[in-house]
Amino acid sequence: AQTVTQSQPEMSVQEAETVTLSCTYDTSESDYYLFWYKQPPSRQMILVIRQEAYKQQNATENRFSVNFQKAAKSFSLKISDSQLGDAAMYFCAQGSGGYQKVTFGTGTKLQVIP
């Protein structure tokens, strides 16, 4: 069984500062992939970044980057130069297997303070 744990229910960051959201996971699969999704108040789930487990290099997308520690089963999201539009719920997710079953964490609510 796959589990995804986000231990920070809420986080806050000052505008233009950097914040890191934590995520740990557990899986017995050897081939899997990890995601961070953003859910703003509009409810739309938006993919922020993804990481293939076989890749050692950490994924980056503009101001968003991950710290993927495979041995520790850790997948944190770093947001640099935080903007007001970054305020949202952030969900860590893990998927594996041929059926693309994705398991989500419980989410971290990020507040950006002007």
Q: Give me 106's structure tokens.
A: 């419980």
Q: Rounded to the nearest whole angstrom, what is the least distance from the CB of residue 80 to other proteins in the complex?
A: 22
Binding mask 72-101 for other proteins (x = CB under 8 A): -----------------x-x---x--xxxx
Task: Provide the binding-site residues for other proteins, judged by CB under 8 A.
Answer: 31, 33, 35, 37, 39, 42-47, 50, 52, 89, 91, 95, 98-104, 106-107
